[in-house]
């Protein structure tokens, strides 16, 4: 296929250059443009110039032609010396990590030789309604995603823990969204019982029938089972997961004589869990209701990741994309958040602030014309009297009176 026609190029609103793809132009010729990776740069460009085209008509034709002739067995990476095979074997395709997650060819998204990292993406499976929706504005912590994907590829149980709003559950949901994996998210509380997990007998239409629980359904159908708020459940209840964490079948004694008595794990079944603690109890005083867990249970998780709050530059990018605010405003909000976190670590405050709360503050601040008001509504008003005074003082230093 030849190159798109020169006369059909579009104009870059930043420098006036005639190009076919604004995203590629930003990546190659405007490293100073805010956003970081190519996808984020393009999003910022569209925010600043909402009426500007981003692809020439010639480029659109070329993309359409390429898709029409592209083989099911190979995905060609633009400008790359290698290709990642996407042979569908048992409903699985192998695709390039950086393309699936829209990361661009940043070094962290490639292997040590600068080549694409192949990952598994499920093809058609009949459970599209259980696949989380792709969030195009989600900002990925690449190292965290690679560690989580490693657990998924090797079928190793994964446990992610960390502070509220650090992105534990959201990251796992977006991994499933990008790799087309159905996910069943199950919340745990101190009232969670074994029957809530594996199933129970009930009366339907005048008959007594066994209704399988979410774990049994996920295992049989090949879904990702996300045990959310894992450390809120009682250790005695969580012991039901131990053979599953070892890769074994689920034996439901109560269902003997039915098709659910023994549930074999589907080849694509995956077990993931999240919590605010690492199972040894809450050391912060922030997460009342979490339980000290059984070490033997946690020992069965082969991959454990501590999900920290993002570096400032990533958190600023999240705010820009999720709340549609300027880079300068995002920097100020993140500056406030980091001051609060430092005060918390220094025992000057009893609570900290999450990226999720900052997003709320940003959205509210835009509408009220004051980020201090946004912070008051989303965060400061939740605090005790002493902490409110400290947090309000920090907000005044960052945003002024």
Residues 149, 97 share a domain: no
Residues 319, 241 share a domain: no
Instruction: Name the helix (H) or strand (E) containing 332.
Output: helix 327-345
pLDDT digits (tens, 9 = 90+) for 74-96: 233 333 323 343 333 348 999 99
CA 201 to each of CA 237, 255, 293: distance values in angstroms, whole numbers, following the listed order:
18, 8, 29
Which residues have a Cβ under 8 Å from the Cβ of 199 and sit 6 or more positions away? Answer: 210, 211, 212, 213, 216, 252, 254, 255, 260
What is the pLDDT at residue 246?
97
What is the pLDDT at residue 43?
77
Residues 242, 376 share a domain: no
Q: What DSSP state is assigned to residue 140?
A: P
What is the pLDDT at residue 116?
95
Q: What is the largest CA-CA distance in the chain?
A: 74
What is the pLDDT at residue 186?
97
Residues 118, 63 share a domain: no
Residues 341, 209 share a domain: no
What is the pLDDT at residue 310?
87
Which stretches in the chain have pLDDT values below 70? 1-7, 65-90, 401
CB 287 within 8 A of CB 182: no
Residues 323, 300 share a domain: no
Domain boundary among 306, 334, 350: 306
Residues 337, 327 share a domain: yes
What is the pLDDT at residue 288?
87
Q: What CATH number does the domain containing 280 carry? A: 3.40.50.300
Domain boundary among 306, 332, 349: 306
What is d(CA 158, CA 59) in angstroms, rounded to the nearest whole number?
42
What is d(CA 301, CA 293) in angstroms, rounded to the nearest whole number?
13
What is the pLDDT at residue 55?
87
CB 220 within 8 A of CB 261: no
What is d(CA 316, CA 38) in angstroms, rounded to the nearest whole number?
16
Query: 3-class DSSP state for residue 228?
Result: strand
What is the pLDDT at residue 321?
92
The pair phi, psi for residue 227, each rounded to 5°, is -85, 90
Alpha helices by DSSP H, 193-311: 194-198, 214-221, 235-238, 242-245, 295-298
The count of structural domains within the chain is 4
What is d(CA 54, CA 60) in angstroms, rounded to the nearest whole number?
10
Residues 168, 140 share a domain: yes
Residues 246, 209 share a domain: yes
Residues 178, 151 share a domain: yes
What is the pLDDT at residue 205?
85
Domain boundary among 281, 306, 331: 306
pLDDT digits (tens, 9 = 90+) for 128-172: 999 999 999 899 999 999 999 999 999 999 999 999 988 999 999
Residues 251, 138 share a domain: yes
What is the pLDDT at residue 283?
78
What is d(CA 181, CA 274) in angstroms, rounded to the nearest whole number?
18
What is the pLDDT at residue 272?
98
Q: What is the residue range of 55's domain?
A: 1-70
What is d(CA 171, CA 145) in angstroms, rounded to the nearest whole number?
7
Query: β-strand 199-204 against 118-122: which pairing, if any?
Result: unpaired
∠ CA 187-193-196 to the nearest 5 degrees?
A: 65
């Amino acid at each position: 296929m030849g190159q798109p026609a020169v006369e059909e190029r579009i104009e870059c609103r930043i420098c006036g250059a005639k190009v076919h793809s604004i995203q590629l132009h930003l990546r190659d010729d405007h490293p100073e443009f805010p956003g970081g990776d190519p996808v984020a740069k393009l999003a910022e460009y569209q925010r600043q110039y909402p009426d500007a085209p981003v692809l020439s008509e010639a480029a659109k034709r070329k993309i359409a032609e390429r898709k029409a002739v592209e083989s099911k067995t190979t995905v060609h990476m633009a400008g790359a010396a290698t290709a990642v095979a996407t042979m569908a074997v048992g409903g699985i395709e192998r695709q390039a990590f950086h393309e699936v997650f829209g990361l661009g060819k940043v070094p962290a998204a490639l292997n040590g030789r600068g080549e694409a990292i192949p990952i598994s993406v499920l093809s058609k499976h009949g459970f599209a309604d259980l696949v989380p929706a792709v969030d195009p504005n989600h900002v990925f912590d690449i190292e965290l995603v690679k560690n989580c994907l490693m657990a998924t590829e090797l079928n190793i149980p994964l446990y992610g823990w960390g502070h509220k709003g650090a992105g534990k559950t959201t990251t796992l949901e977006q991994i499933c969204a990008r790799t087309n994996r159905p996910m069943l998210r199950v919340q745990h509380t101190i009232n969670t019982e074994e029957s809530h997990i594996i199933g129970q007998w009930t009366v339907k239409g005048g008959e007594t029938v066994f209704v399988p629980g979410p774990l049994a359904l996920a295992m049989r159908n090949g879904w990702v089972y996300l045990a959310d708020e894992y450390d809120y459940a009682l250790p005695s209840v969580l012991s039901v997961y131990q053979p599953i964490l070892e890769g074994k079948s689920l034996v439901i004694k109560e269902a003997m004589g039915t098709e659910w008595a023994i549930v074999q794990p589907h080849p694509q079944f995956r077990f993931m869990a999240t919590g605010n603690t690492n199972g040894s109890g809450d050391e912060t005083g922030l997460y009342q209701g979490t339980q000290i867990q059984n070490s033997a249970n946690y020992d069965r998780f082969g991959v454990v990741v501590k999900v920290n709050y993002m570096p400032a530059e990533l958190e600023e990018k999240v705010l820009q994309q999720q709340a549609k605010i300027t880079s300068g405003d995002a920097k100020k909000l993140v500056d406030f958040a980091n001051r609060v976190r430092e005060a918390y670590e220094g025992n000057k405050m009893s609570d900290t602030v999450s990226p999720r709360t900052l997003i709320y503050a940003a959205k509210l601040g835009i509408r009220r014309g004051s980020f201090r008001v946004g912070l008051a509504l989303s965060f400061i008003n939740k605090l005790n009297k002493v902490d409110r005074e400290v947090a309000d003082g920090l907000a005044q230093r960052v945003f002024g009176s």
